[in-house]
Amino acid sequence: MRIVLLGTGGYHPNDRRHTACLMLPESGIIFDAGTSFFRVPQYMQTRDLQIFLTHAHLDHIVGLSFFLLPMLTGQVDSVKVYGEASKLDAIQTHLFSEEIFPLLPDYEFITLPEQVSVPEQGTLRHINLEHPGGSVGYRIDWPGHSLAYVTDTSHPEQHLEFVKGVDLLIHECYFPDEQAEWAD
C-alpha cells in the first residue's frame, strides 16, 4: 500500500511544505485537507474518496475549498467527509458560507461513527485527543497490516493503547522537548 504525505507542516504553509494531508491513493482514503489538498487529483486512483478530518482548524480543512474543479469536471463520483458533528457543522457554516465560498462542493458530510469500513477489508476507528477545540486520532486495521494517524496533541499517554501494535504510526512532532510549554 502506498502512502503519500501531501503535507506535513503545522499551522501554516511555507516554501518547503504544506499543512496536514495524507493520502492512500489505491484506497481513496485521505486524512485531513490542509493546504496540500490541491495535490489530490494527481494521485487519485479511485473515483470515490473518503476524507477523515482530525479537527476543524483551518490548517486541516482549508483544502476542502480547493477541490471544486475536480468535482465539477467529473473526476470523482463521490466524496465523503467524515468528522465530529460539531466540526462538520462549523465547516459547512463558516468555510462554506455564501460570503466566503459561495458554491459548496457536492460533499457528503458524515458524522464520524464508532467505526467505518474502508476499502480492502479495513476497519477505521478513532480516539478523542486533547487539543484546543478537540481532535481525533485514527487507526485503520486491514488483514495483515495497520496504520495510525495521530496529530495535534501533546499528551501521547492518552493514545498509547490505541496505537499499540500498529505497523505504521504517523504522529505529529512539531515542538522539541525544550519547548513543551509551547506545545501545551
Check whether 110 has a pLDDT greater than 80: yes
Closest-CA residue to 109 (of 125, 93, 129, 89) = 89
C-alpha cell of residue 121 = 477489508
Check whether 50 has a pLDDT greater than 70: yes
- Global pTM value: 0.93
DSSP E strands, the chain: 4-7, 21-24, 29-31, 48-52, 78-83, 108-111, 115-118, 122-129, 135-142, 145-150, 168-171
Residue 53 has φ and ψ, to the nearest 5°, of -90, 135
Q: Contact, 31 vs 22, CB < 8 A?
A: yes
Residues 124-169 pLDDT 10s? 999 999 887 889 999 999 999 999 999 877 667 778 899 999 999 9
